[in-house]
Structure 1
Amino acid sequence: MNSHHALQWLPSYLVPFVSLSYPTPPPVNPDSFHHSAYYKTGMLDGCLIITCIAVMAVLRDIIRIFVLEPFARWKLTRTWERSNSHHIQQNGKKNDLINGNGHAGHANGDSKPKGVMSARDARKIHRSVLRFAEQGWSAIYYIFQWSFGFYVHRNLPTQALNPTELWSNYPHIPLAGPLKLYYLTQTAFYIHQVLILNAEARRKDHVQMMTHHVLTIFLIVMSYFCNFTRIGCLIMVLMDWNDIFLPVAKMFRYIGLYTLCDITFTWFLISWFVARHVLFVIVIKSAWFDGPRLISVGWVPELGHYYSEGTYDTFVYLLVALQVIQIIWFWMICRIAWRVISGQGASDDRSDDESEEEKKSQ
């Protein structure tokens, strides 16, 4: 469908903000998306990215404030009330035995009314509610976006274990509508994440996260305009797969479901290693050796050929840099895994420390 024809009622300057730009006739014999509309790339694509960032910001706040935070507050308050009720019953039985008169006294002379939440507990619950909601948005996004990316990947003639099709018949232009939309929404998400990182309280790994997001944005944009979209799509699908499980594990932890947290975290650890240190390394190896071997045409920008020694080396070196960051993170993840194995439970080294927040608030 040509969305420009469907949006004739909009002023022309608003159309790029709500639809894919640069529609073009489909290729004669496409190897994928046979019934899709096709598009070229250009600077107007940034308009739709801006819209996606705004939509993500609104959706994040709506879901966080009206769905995730109320649920987490209800769950944690309910857990606290049950724990407190059990504590009162235990104290009551002890006092009955001590007094011998059937009336529970105040242990240790504590005159504070039972059933009233302390300021410390209220701060702890409030912090967990906020963290649960933040991680909930990430989990929701990655679930939907990975599903969309997997659909796009399944319709492309590419395979993670045999990635030579990433380079055959380069350049792969024009772009099918779903692939282009996937790229633009992913770019919008990582720009949105950069804005969030700088708006919220800084975590221990702020520098690493910023480096990762900026590097990812640069790789997405570079692969988009240099027509390396098939390798870009495969990499994003690999990355998003295990990004589903870490926020879910954190969500379980913040609402006190520690066993589910440890199980989910263990699965996250396995999926991370397979996706980011096995399959991603295979992709990097293919980029290093298969790309120069299979791409036969050099730098001809007017025909969509952006392969040159300089641009391609830059692209590969950035992929290697991304892997280095992920190796550092994997080491941190293994430290958390050791805590799980040793029975201490999963905790996130990369998050801010609860005790530090409490000291600041006192």
Structure 2
Amino acid sequence: MPCFFLECEPSHELARFGVAFAGLYAYHFLWDQLAIRPTVALMVRRTWLTKDKFDKMRESLWKIAFVVTGFSFGLYIGHDKDWFLEPTRYFTDYPYVAPEKLKWYYMLYLAFWFQSIDFMLSLTSKQYTVKRKDNAEMLLHHCATIALMVFSYYFDLTRVGMCVLMIHDVNDLLLETAKVFVFMESELLANIFFGTFAVVWFIVRWYYYSKNILYSVYVHAWAEIVAPAIAQGSRLGMDAATWYKLYMAFFGFLALLLVLHIYWGVLIVRMVMKALGDGNVEKDIRSDSEDESEPVAPPAAVNDDDAKPKRRRAPKAE
């Protein structure tokens, strides 16, 4: 991998993934132990953060660290390529020979999504005690992303695959930054970043994703890959019917991501409507499940010195 059409040693690619997977866990350990935990502990000591937000803050800071690293790596790889974010060139010269840097980029992100499932379900360790009521949707998203990455890597579609990942990174960075300020109860900054996140979500994940990715696959992947196979009856040792099935599977994975984008976009609209009524981002519709059953105390008169800071749930969407 990419081994289906181009010669390579599958064991080498599996070893590459193993190195990336182990390296990511080591990278997470170093970030968490040397920077994130001490920083969050300091926030708690200085009462910038309540103790119940400790793991949530750790999780968000780790995601920010990874997204900044991955996005920067993607820019380094693609900034001087004629196909980078250029939908008419994703599928030219197919099958495309992925350079080593792009292969490592793919393996890094593949490891990250497997790690996300691990942390979400606490399969190997309980890194974070954060539970959410939409775990099923998140698991579907993660599995669809992994399937899309494996498929695109195996069938030499890494150009468009990298651009899909980078498009998603933009919103992820804004969201996790907004959550950091929500946890710190910095209302103004939380609202600014969440408002920016909401606007960018619809621009990037609805409009730009549909126009730059889905339309490109629908039109250009068909013209560059499938149509020649149909005209010739076969291509690269596969008959036209198989090419058509592979094309529909790839397009289907991408369409599933758009469906999830639309679903979360509706939740974002509901949050925005609530924020307009409340004046701030008070409640995450995709909130933590352990908070859902907490009783709401009736209002009571309290002294200023005894007043506790209001708890605010973080917005979360992927």
Determine if the TM-score, normalized by the shorter chain, exceeds 0.5: yes
- Does residue 194 of structure 1 match 2:117? yes
Given the alignment of the two structures, is residue 284 of structure 1 paired with residue 214 of structure 2, yes or no?
yes
Q: Secondary structure of the residue that 1:267 maps to in structure 2?
A: helix
2:254 is aligned to: 319
Corresponding residue for residue 89 of structure 2: 165
1:185-334 equivalences in 2 (<5 Å):
185-199=108-122, 200-282=129-211, 283-295=213-225, 297-298=228-229, 300-301=235-236, 308-334=243-269
Instruction: Count the aligned residue pairs.
Output: 279
Q: Distance in 2 between matches of 1:54 and 1:149?
A: 20
For 2:189 and 2:293, how far apart are their aligned partners in 1?
Answer: 26
Q: Is the 8 A contact 1:39 1:176 kept in 2?
A: no
Is 1:64–1:134's contact at 8 Å kept on the other side of the alignment? no
Query: 2:280 matched to which residue of 1?
Result: 344
| Cα offsets for 1:261-286 (capped at 9, x unmatched) | 11111111122222211111012012
Partner of 1:177 in structure 2? Answer: 100
| 1:9 equivalent in structure 2 | none
The alpha-carbon distance between structure 1 residues 170 and 239, as it changes in their structure 2 partners (threshold 3 A), is same
Distance (Å, rounded) in 1 between the aligned partners of 2:183 and 2:102 = 36
| Residue of structure 1 equivalent to 2:313 | none
Query: Separation in 2 of the partners of 1:125 and 1:65?
Result: 20
CA shift for structure 1 position 240: 1.1
Q: Give the alignment's Cα RMSD to 1 decimal.
A: 2.8
- TM-score normalised by the chain length of structure 2: 0.78
Q: Structure 1 residue aligned with 2:69, among 140, 144, 147?
A: 144
CA distance in 1, matches of 2:8, 2:80: 19
Deviations 1:4-27 (A, max 9, x none): xxxxxxxxxxxxxxxx999xxxxx
Select the structure with the greater relative contact order (CA < 8 A; seq sep ≥ 6). 2
Q: Structure 1: which amino acid aligns with 2:83?
A: T
Which of 11, 33, 43 in structure 2 is aligned with 1:75? 43
Point out the structure with max Rg over C-alpha.
1
2:50 aligned to which of 125, 138, 163 = 125
Letter in 1 for 2:177: V
User: Does the CA contact (< 8 Å) of 1:72 and 1:129 recur in 2?
Assistant: yes
Other-structure match for 2:20? 52
Cα offset, 1:181, TM superposition: 1.1
CA distance, structure 2, for counterparts of residue 248 and residue 39 of structure 1 = 43
Partners of 1:357 and 1:67 in 2: how far apart?
A: 33
- Report percent identity of matched pairs: 25
Q: CA deviation at 1:290?
A: 1.9
Structure 1 residues 21, 168: closer, same or farther in 2, change over 3 A?
closer
In 1, distance between residues paired with 2:101 and 2:34? Answer: 30
Partners of 2:9 and 2:293 in 1: CA distance: 46
| Unpaired segments ≥5 residues, structure 2 | 123-128, 296-318
| 2:10 partner SS | coil
Structure 1 regions of 5+ residues with no counterpart? 1-19, 23-37, 81-123
CA contact (8 A) 2:20 2:108 kept: yes
Indicate how the Cα distance of structure 1 residues 358 and 59 shifts in structure 2: closer, same or farther if over 3 A, else same. Answer: farther
Distance in 2 between residues matched to 1:274 and 1:67, nearest whole Å:
33
Shift of 1:357: 7.5
CA distance 1:308–1:254, shift in 2 (3 Å): same
Report deviation, 1:297: 4.5
